Structure 1
Amino acid sequence: MKNKHFLTAQDVMEMLGISLFYAYKLIRRLNAELEAEVFVTIKGRVSTKYFIERIYGMSTDKEVG
């Protein structure tokens, strides 16, 4: 999954060990959150960065300190 800007439902399914149906449902939910913040989304795909932030609670940006 390295260097992928967007994840498909198949990617999400494999990463989380969930069904394909639930992976699509999760992508729709995450994309709805992004659309509410006025971001452009792609149906059936989710931003890898946003996915990691929301699912794992980790920022993908390196902090300078």
Structure 2
Amino acid sequence: MKSNYMIGVEEVSAELGVSKGHAYKVIRELNEELSKQGFIVVAGKIPKAYWETKFYGYNTMNVAI
């Protein structure tokens, strides 16, 4: 089963509860950040891992078990 690691404007729009136009703006800003770090970017898409890090703090969140 193929797992897509990129998310597009539809998912970003639904996740944030904003218009597609605003979702494109958010994706564009995130892609600019990635590009400045030397990563290859795809217009209109963002890696899920980067999305989760930026919006949910998954890489910095401390969870006590």
Instruction: State TM-score, norm by structure 1.
Output: 0.82
Q: Which amino acid aligns with 1:11?
A: E
Match of 1:34 in 2: 34
Q: Secondary structure at the match of 2:46?
A: strand
Larger Rg, first or second structure (1 or 2) = 2
Structure 1 residue 16, shift from structure 2 partner: 1.3
Q: Secondary structure at the match of 1:42?
A: coil
| Unaligned runs of at least 5 residues, structure 2 | 60-65
Partners of 1:4 and 1:25 lie apart in 2 by 22
1:8-40 deviation line (CA, Å, top 9, x unaligned) = 001100111111111000000000000000000
Please provide the CA RMSD for this pair.
0.9
Match of 2:5 in 1: 5
| Unaligned runs of at least 5 residues, structure 1 | 60-65
Instruction: State TM-score, norm by structure 2.
Output: 0.82
Q: Secondary structure at the match of 1:46?
A: strand
Identity of aligned residues (%): 32
